[in-house]
Every structure is written in structure tokens, then in C-alpha cells.
């Protein structure tokens, strides 16, 4: 067992030696990456062509599990963003708007099918570039990407049925900026509804995970989508800001941190651009005494250690009813011991690599804050690789509501635990952060599910499960977790004007 104290706590560093022998030994089961083709360098995708950046600058993309450079991406500056917006405007006013809605839908169906055909390649590249376990990119991310294109393809020629009595029209050119935690899935959440409604897009993927967006650009070319309907510009935050501030963009769709979301909202104030912001979270999971405890523990493990806790709606706070707190804590520790942290391309891996050095440092900063705040820090004793960015699954107990680790988004495999006595106390604690993206409740009683579900001020509430997604269901936040909804009919309406 590994109780960490202020004296013994050392952040797991890329070069740390292993402290503990693993009890869980599995033979390696690596997914082959030989079929996944990666070029040495990727250009910008503008007007249906791959074009060099006007600055001539490129930046490297690394594999966070081993530090190896995978490829280089072009850095888009103001003039490149300008070209991309011009291409999108030309397509919006020209060929794309002359195509019937039914034909638009066919393009989306074609893209969905092509993603399914190349699912393995996309999954491998997503895991290499971003660090998430192949089991997740293969079984969650890529199937959901295809599902979103299929779902919105179906709506393309039925918009007036989706919004009866209204005359929905495309908004125009949409600027879309996405984060690194679900790279291709966030692209699908943005591009599929935008195109279904007849818009054109300029999308910027995150700096550390642009690979699958450029592979998607190749697929768009193969699908024969008219030039300029989808434009992909890579670069850092400045490239994103150029999109946000561009005069000829009609709508901004942003997913990322609350800090950047606030900056964007400020820049958009006073303009007539439409916008949706999908921001951070600090999801609470409420476990009642009558819950099926083993299932709840499995759900909690999935809610916070899934994708290294790099999930906006992650269940990063656990609220347990007092009578079962010790049992839940012990069962969680036992289950954490069996989690395998390591090579994202190994099919046995449960917890992959932290996405970047910056995020690795942020998580370790919060672990130090936890110790300073007097929390008991417990980490699983598993082996972790010597190179790359890895953090052991971590529990923080003896924390209080006002602690920073309870209030702020850590975005890593770190779970805080608090207890409660009554449902009202649980609801009050769950709601007591600046966020309101997601929450969960575990109980045997439907009545408690409805009481807690209606009391939580969060966009999603799961009952006896967590982190389940479906393209037909809207997703979005209360409070500082965002403005607007994506997914389902709500997500369609966000790309239309009436």
C-alpha cells in the first residue's frame, strides 16, 4: 500500500525509477502501428488543398508516452486564417449552398462510413499522438466519431421537421476550436452538425493533438467534399485567437478551458457572432448507502481514471454516504491496485500517458497543493514506465469543500473523497463549485435518483453509470462550464438561424 505523506511524496517524473513491484503481471499485447501512415510533415488544409503556412514555420508533435517526435505541423498565422476564412466563405456562398440538403447528407454518410473503414488507423494515431489507451480510442472515441456523422447526416434534409413552423437557415462560416482530450471526437461534435445545417468551417485542433484532424482532412479530400467546406488550420492559442477575432466569421464554437472560454466570450462581446462554449468541469458522484457498491466502485474507476482523467465531465469528486464510506474507500483502493498504467498502445492498459509536459506539471502541482492543504494522498503502487508522462491513480481524502483540490479542475487521474449524511447535504456539496457540467448518482431507489438529478445544477446527470455518450443526447454546462449545448437537436439548433 502506498500512503503518501508530505515527507515521502515525490512527483512521478518522466525519469523516475519504479518504487513498487506490480502484483498484476500481464504479457504485453501491443496494437500494431504498422498500418498507420504518418507523414514527416503536415501542411494546412485550406480550400480543399494542403498548403504551406505563410510564415514557413512548423512545430513538432510528440508521443507523450515516450517523448518521440511523431511529425510536424504547420503554424497558421493571421494571413493563413484569413485564407481559410475566404475559402470557407466562397464555398458557403457558392457550391455548398447550391447542393441539395439530401446531397449534403450523403457526404456526411460517406464520411461516417469512411471513418468506420479506417477506424483502426484513426484509433492507433489518436493513442500515439494523445496518450490515451488504445482500448478507449478503439472502443469509445472512434465509434462515437462515426456515430456523430451518421446521426447528423440523417438530419441534413429534415431541418424543417426538427424545428417545425420555423425556417431554419445555415449560420454561415463557423470558426471551431477544440481541445486535446478527445481530438477526433471533438472535431466530429463540431463539424458534423455544422455541415448538416449547410455551414462551412475553419477548425483549429489543439497543438498537441492535431494528427487525426489532418488525417480527417485527407479523408475529406477522398470523400470529394467541395473545396473550402472544411478547412483545418493548425497552430497554437494565437491561431485560435485569430479565428475568434476574424471579422468574416459568423459563429464561434469553442471547447476548452474555462479560462480561455472567458477570454473568448470577452472578445465576442459586442459582435453579432453566435457562439457556444463548452468548458471545464468538476463532476460529483454521489453514492448512497443503498447503492450496489461493487458496481458503483467500477463506475467510479471508469469516471475518473478513464482517459487519465482528461475528461471535462470526469467524476473527479466522490461524495459517499457515511455508513458505506470505509467500505467504498477500501474497495476503491483494491480496485486501483489492479489498474495497469502504461503504454497507450498496449491493449491491457487502463490508464495511458498524460497528454503533455504542461498537463503533467499541472497535475503534480495540484498533488503538492493537496499535501499543503492537509489531504491524505493515496496512490496505487503500480509500475509506471520510466519515460513519458505518467501519473499513478490517486485518491485525496480528508479534504474539505473549500480546498482548491475540491474546487478547481485538475484534469488528471485524481479523485477527491468527501462524505455526507443526507441527500440535501450531498446536493449542496455537489453544487458548491464554480462548475456544473456533469454529475452522477448511485442508489437502488428511483426516487433518490430523481431528487438528486433535479437538485444538481449540471448539464448531465448519470444514474448508476457514468461517462456514457450518445450523439442524440445534448451535452453542455451550467455556470462556468459553458454556454449552449452540443449533441442532439440542441446541437443542431446551435448551427442554424431562424
* Catalytic positions, written as ranges: 278, 312
Residue among 178 and 341 whose Cβ is closer to ligand NAP:
178
Task: Kindly determine how many residues on this chain lie close enough to bind Mg ion according to the rule CB under 5 A.
Answer: 3
Which helix (H) or strand (E) segment is 377 a member of? strand 376-379
Instruction: Give the up-direction half-sphere exposure of residue 301: CA atoms within 13 A in the CB hemisphere.
Output: 23
Q: Are strands 3-4 and 376-379 parallel, antiparallel or unpaired?
A: antiparallel
Q: 389 is written with which cell numbers? A: 508522462
User: In the complex, what is the shortest distance from the CB of residue 129 to Mg ion, in angstroms, rounded to a whole number?
Assistant: 4
258 vs 264: CA distance, rounded Å: 10
User: In the complex, what is the shortest distance from the CB of residue 281 to ligand NAP, in angstroms, rounded to a whole number?
Assistant: 5
196-215 residues in contact with Mg ion (CB under 5 A) are: 208
Report what 312 binds from Mg ion, ligand NAP, none; CB cut-off 5-8 Å by kind: ligand NAP
User: In the complex, what is the shortest distance from the CB of residue 226 to ligand NAP, in angstroms, rounded to a whole number?
Assistant: 26
311-340 residues in contact with ligand NAP (CB under 6 A) are: 312
Contact indicator for 65, 341 with CB cutoff of 8 Å: no
Residue among 75 and 350 whose Cβ is closer to ligand NAP:
75
Residue 144: closest CA among 438, 470, 468? 470
User: In the complex, what is the shortest distance from the CB of residue 270 to Mg ion, in angstroms, rounded to a whole number?
Assistant: 36
Binding mask 120-159 for ligand NAP (x = CB under 6 A): ----------------------------------------
Residue among 208 and 258 whose Cβ is closer to Mg ion:
208
Cβ neighbours for 467, distance < 8 A, ≥ 6 positions apart: 302, 303, 306, 311, 313, 314, 315
Report what 193 binds from ligand NAP, Mg ion, none; CB cut-off 5-8 Å by kind: none
User: In the complex, what is the shortest distance from the CB of residue 475 to ligand NAP, in angstroms, rounded to a whole number?
Assistant: 6
Report what 181 binds from ligand NAP, Mg ion, none; CB cut-off 5-8 Å by kind: ligand NAP
Contact indicator for 85, 249 with CB cutoff of 8 Å: yes
52-111 residues in contact with Mg ion (CB under 5 A) are: 61
Residue among 183 and 493 whose Cβ is closer to Mg ion:
183
The neighbour count for residue 302, using CB atoms within 10 Å, is 17
Q: Does 240 interact with ligand NAP (rule: CB under 6 A)?
A: yes
DSSP string for 258-294: HHHHHHHHHHHTTS--EEEEE----EEEEE-TTS-HH
Which helix (H) or strand (E) segment is 452 a member of? helix 446-455
Cβ neighbours for 298, distance < 8 A, ≥ 6 positions apart: 335
Q: Does 482 interact with ligand NAP (rule: CB under 6 A)?
A: yes
**Applying CB under 6 A, which of residues 411, 420, 466, 495 lies at the interface with ligand NAP?**
411
219 vs 122: CA distance, rounded Å: 11
Length of the chain: 498
Distances (CA, A) of 440 to 99, 305, 357, 430: 44, 15, 30, 10
Report what 409 binds from Mg ion, ligand NAP, none; CB cut-off 5-8 Å by kind: ligand NAP
323 vs 420: CA distance, rounded Å: 9
**Applying CB under 6 A, which of residues 244, 291, 296, 325 lies at the interface with ligand NAP?**
244
Report what 61 binds from ligand NAP, Mg ion, none; CB cut-off 5-8 Å by kind: Mg ion
Binding mask 415-444 for ligand NAP (x = CB under 6 A): ----------------------x-------
Report what 237 binds from Mg ion, ligand NAP, none; CB cut-off 5-8 Å by kind: ligand NAP
Residue among 142 and 244 whose Cβ is closer to ligand NAP:
244
Report what 55 binds from ligand NAP, Mg ion, none; CB cut-off 5-8 Å by kind: none
Query: Phi, psi at residue 152, to the nearest 5°?
Result: -75, -25
Binding mask 246-285 for ligand NAP (x = CB under 6 A): ---------xxx--x--xx-------------xxxx----
List the helix and strand counts (H, then E) for the chain. Answer: 18, 21
Q: 320 is written with which cell numbers? A: 459517499
Angle between helices 211-222 and 119-130 (to 10 degrees): 160
Contact indicator for 189, 255 with CB cutoff of 8 Å: yes
Residues that bind Mg ion (CB under 5 A): 61, 129, 208
Residues that bind ligand NAP (CB under 6 A): 177-181, 204, 206-207, 236-237, 240-241, 244, 255-257, 260, 263-264, 278-281, 312, 409, 411, 437, 477, 482
Amino acid at each position: 500500500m502506498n500512503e503518501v505523506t508530505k515527507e515521502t511524496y515525490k512527483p512521478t517524473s518522466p525519469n523516475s525509477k519504479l518504487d513498487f513491484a506490480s502484483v498484476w503481471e500481464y504479457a504485453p499485447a501491443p496494437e500494431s502501428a504498422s498500418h498507420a501512415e504518418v507523414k514527416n510533415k503536415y501542411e494546412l488544409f485550406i480550400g480543399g488543398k494542403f498548403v504551406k503556412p505563410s510564415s514557413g514555420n512548423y512545430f513538432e508533435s510528440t508521443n507523450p508516452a515516450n517523448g518521440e517526435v511523431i511529425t510536424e505541423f504547420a503554424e497558421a498565422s493571421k494571413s493563413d486564417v484569413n485564407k481559410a476564412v475566404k475559402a470557407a466563405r466562397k464555398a458557403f456562398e457558392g457550391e455548398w449552398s447550391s447542393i441539395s440538403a439530401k446531397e449534403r447528407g450523403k457526404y456526411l454518410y460517406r464520411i461516417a462510413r469512411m471513418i468506420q473503414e479506417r477506424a483502426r488507423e484513426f484509433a492507433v494515431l489518436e493513442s500515439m499522438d494523445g496518450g490515451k489507451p488504445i482500448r478507449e480510442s478503439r472502443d469509445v472515441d472512434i465509434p462515437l466519431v462515426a456515430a456523430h456523422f451518421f446521426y447528423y447526416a440523417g438530419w441534413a434534409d429534415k431541418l424543417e421537421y426538427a424545428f417545425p413552423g420555423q425556417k431554419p437557415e445555415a449560420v454561415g462560416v463557423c470558426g471551431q476550436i477544440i481541445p486535446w482530450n478527445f481530438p477526433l471526437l471533438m472535431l466530429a461534435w463540431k463539424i458534423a452538425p455544422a455541415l448538416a445545417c449547410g455551414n462551412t468551417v475553419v477548425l483549429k485542433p489543439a497543438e498537441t493533438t492535431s494528427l487525426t484532424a489532418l488525417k480527417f482532412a485527407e479523408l475529406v479530400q477522398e470523400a470529394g467534399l467541395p473545396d473550402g467546406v472544411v478547412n483545418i488550420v493548425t497552430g497554437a492559442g494565437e491561431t485560435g485567437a485569430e479565428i475568434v477575432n476574424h471579422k468574416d466569421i459568423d459563429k464561434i464554437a469553442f471547447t476548452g478551458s474555462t479560462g480561455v472560454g472567458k477570454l473568448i466570450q470577452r472578445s465576442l462581446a459586442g459582435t453579432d457572432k453566435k457562439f457556444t462554449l463548452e468548458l471545464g468541469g468538476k463532476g460529483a458522484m454521489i453514492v448512497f448507502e443503498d447503492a450496489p457498491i461493487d458496481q458503483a466502485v467500477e463506475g467510479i474507476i471508469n469516471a475518473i481514471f478513464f482517459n487519465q482523467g482528461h475528461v471535462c465531465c470526469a467524476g473527479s469528486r466522490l461524495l459517499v454516504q457515511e455508513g458505506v464510506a470505509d467500505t467504498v474507500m477500501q474497495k476503491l483502493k483494491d480496485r486501483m491496485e489492479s489498474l495497469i498504467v502504461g503504454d497507450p498502445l498496449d491493449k491491457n492498459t487502463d490508464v495511458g500517458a498524460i497528454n503533455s509536459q504542461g498537463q503533467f506539471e499541472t497535475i503534480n502541482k495540484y498533488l503538492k497543493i493537496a499535501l499543503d492543504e492537509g489531504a491524505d494522498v493515496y496512490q496505487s503502487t503500480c509500475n509506471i514506465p520510466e519515460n513519458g508522462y505518467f501519473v499513478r491513480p490517486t485518491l485525496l481524502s480528508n479534504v474539505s469543500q473549500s480546498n482548491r483540490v475540491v474546487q478547481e479542475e485538475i484534469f488528471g487521474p485524481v479523485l477527491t473523497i468527501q462524505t455526507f449524511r443526507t441527500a440535501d447535504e450531498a446536493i449542496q456539496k455537489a453544487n458548491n463549485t464554480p462548475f456544473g457540467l456533469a454529475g452522477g448518482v448511485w442508489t437502488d431507489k428511483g426516487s433518490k435518483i430523481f431528487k438528486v438529478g433535479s437538485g444538481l445544477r449540471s448539464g448531465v446527470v448519470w444514474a448508476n453509470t457514468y461517462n456514457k455518450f450518445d450523439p442524440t443526447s445534448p451535452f453542455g454546462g451550467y455556470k462556468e462550464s459553458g454556454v449552449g449545448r452540443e449533441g442532439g437537436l440542441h446541437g443542431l439548433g446551435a448551427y442554424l438561424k431562424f
